[in-house]
Structure 1
Amino acid sequence: MSTSILAFIGAAFLIAMAPGPSTVVILRRSVVDGRRTGMAAVLGNECGVLLWGLAAAFGLSALLLASQIAYDVIRITGAVVLVWMGARALWQARRRGGAETEPAAPASVSLRRAYWQGLVTNAANPKAGLFAVSFLPQFVPEGAAVLPTLLAFSVIWAVVDLVWYLPVVWLAGRVGGVLRRPSVRRRMEQISGAVLVGLGVRLAVDA
């Protein structure tokens, strides 16, 4: 069991390091609105990770493998969410277009909203569900109780993901004073918005 746990932790770290929609949302919130808001997005993301892990443990995410309709519904929903978030970021950047000489605006996103952004971004990604149902069972040692082991791995997965994002948010907050200057902040909004829209379109067309 200990060998399986260590192997799982190593694999979970590699997964956490791979950039995706959640990374974009967390970095955006950390840079634009500060570390506390970034951490709220991280906590939302980890709840999404935990939900997918629990779904895999109870066999719910296996529906995504068995039903193309279920997969498509979640895929299109996730794409709409990403495009909406990206379009909103681009709109906010445009509104700030002539405000480079003004002082940096205070955090405009509440902790609750940042949390929900992190949660929805992760939960609306069907690939996370497919990954969970195909990834977690591989580390269950022979003879172990499957359900309790998968539940434990789900929690470990969320904790490992959290550990990875802690320094990411800290570093983003460290340079946030410079990056939150009006002109730089507007550029960050433009970049993150374009990336989110691109990821949403890719998810929509990637059947």
Structure 2
Amino acid sequence: MDWGTGAGFLAASVALTLMPGPDILFVISQSIIGSSKKGAAVAFGLCTGLLVHISAAALGVSAIVYGAPFAFETVKILGALYLFYLAWQSWRSIHSRVSGPSQESGVGESTLFRLYRRGILMNVLNPKVSLFFLAFLPQFVSEDKGSVALQMILLGGLFLLQALVIFNVVAFLAHRIGQQFLQGEKARRRTGWFQTALYLVLGMQLLLISR
């Protein structure tokens, strides 16, 4: 991979990461509802999940797995069910705040790890991410520049690093904006409803995608 390819790939990656999508919206909602630490925990989880997709794409595993209709449908359904489960948890959290303090109101290690794990599962169980890497990475790979698998791993690593930086910056800014404009229980509940709706919409979208 030469510098020109790397620069072009990085510019495209930053633009794609900043586009409104489930990952960045999830980071924003957690940062607004909770804190920048919660948003960062989600960001690290999402980027850890990317390692699975990048490795699978580089080794050709994704092409084999998603070439099989049963495997694709299984991952898709599991991902959608997980998103519906998160929607239910978010809805329950809204109602628990009415009667008492939320169980996830703090930023203890258990809460941050739970969000980190949630980010991993959301990413790994989303077949759209694998399909994205299968379509995106090969555009910047050339067989006459060495090992194709190694090039894809390097490009995937570059994508992961820029996504991690952008997600953490977004988490910090979203929390600061939330502190300025979304103070009070009523505003937090509205954000909670938005998050619940987001999970439901993403789950339904996932069920509708095809290979």
Task: Specify whether residues 22 and 62 from structure 1 end up closer, same or farther in structure 2 by C-alpha distance, changes over 3 A only.
Answer: same
Say if 1:180 and 1:87 are closer, same or farther in 2 by CA, change over 3 A: farther
Letter in 2 for 1:189: G
How far apart are 1:63 and its partner, in Å? 2.3
Q: Confirm whether residue 63 of structure 1 aligns to residue 70 of structure 2.
A: no
Structure 1 runs (4+) greater than 4 angstroms displaced:
none
Tell me how far 1:117 sits from its aligned partner: 1.2
Give secondary structure in 2 for the equivalent of 1:61: helix
- Contiguous gaps of at least 5 residues in structure 1: none
Question: 2:208 corresponds to which letter in structure 1?
Answer: V
Question: Match for 1:172: what amino acid?
Answer: A
Of residues 148, 151, 163 in structure 1, which corresponds to 2:150? 148
Q: Give, in angstroms, the shift of residue 183 of structure 1.
A: 1.4
Contact 1:34 1:107 in 2 (8 A): no
Cα RMSD (Å):
2.1
When structure 1 is superposed on structure 2, of 63-72 and 156-165 the one drifting more is: 63-72
Q: Which residue of 1 aligns with 2:126?
A: 125
Cα deviation, 1:152-193, whole Å, max 9, x if unaligned, reads 111101011112212211111212335352111111111110
Question: Is 1:53 matched with 2:54?
Answer: yes
Report the Cα offset of residue 50 of structure 1: 2.2
* Structure 1 residue 30: Cα displacement: 1.0
Q: Distance in 1 between matches of 2:68 and 2:34?
A: 39
Q: Percent of aligned positions with the same letter in both sequences? A: 28
1:203 paired with 2:206, answer yes
State the one-letter code of the partner of 1:6. Answer: A
Q: Secondary structure at the match of 2:60?
A: coil
Cα distance change of structure 1 residues 18 and 63 upon mapping to structure 2, 3 Å threshold:
farther
Following the alignment from structure 1 to structure 2, what is the Cα–Cα distance between the partners of residues 190 and 86? 9
Matches within 5 A, 1:15-94: 15-94=16-95
Q: Which residue of 2 aligns with 1:190?
A: 193
Q: Confirm or deny: 8 A CA contact 2:33 2:188 kept in the other structure.
A: yes
1:158 — aligned with what? 160
Counterpart of 2:116? Answer: 115
Aligned pair 1:106/2:108, yes or no?
no
In the alignment, the residues of structure 1 paired with residue 42 and residue 183 of structure 2 have an alpha-carbon distance, to the nearest angstrom, of: 18
| One-letter amino acid matched to 1:170 | F
TM-superposition CA deviations, 1:24-51 (whole Å, max 9, x none):
3212221112011110110011111222
Q: Which moved more, 1:63-72 or 1:7-16?
A: 63-72
Alpha-carbon distance in structure 1 between the residues aligned to 2:23 and 2:208: 19
Report the AA paired with residue 138 of structure 2.
P
How far is the alpha carbon of 1:18 from its aligned partner?
Answer: 2.1
Give the secondary structure class of the aligned counterpart of 1:66: coil
Match for residue 134 of structure 1? 135
Q: Which amino acid aligns with 1:143?
A: D
1:206 deviates by: 2.9
How far is the alpha carbon of 1:141 from its aligned partner? 2.9
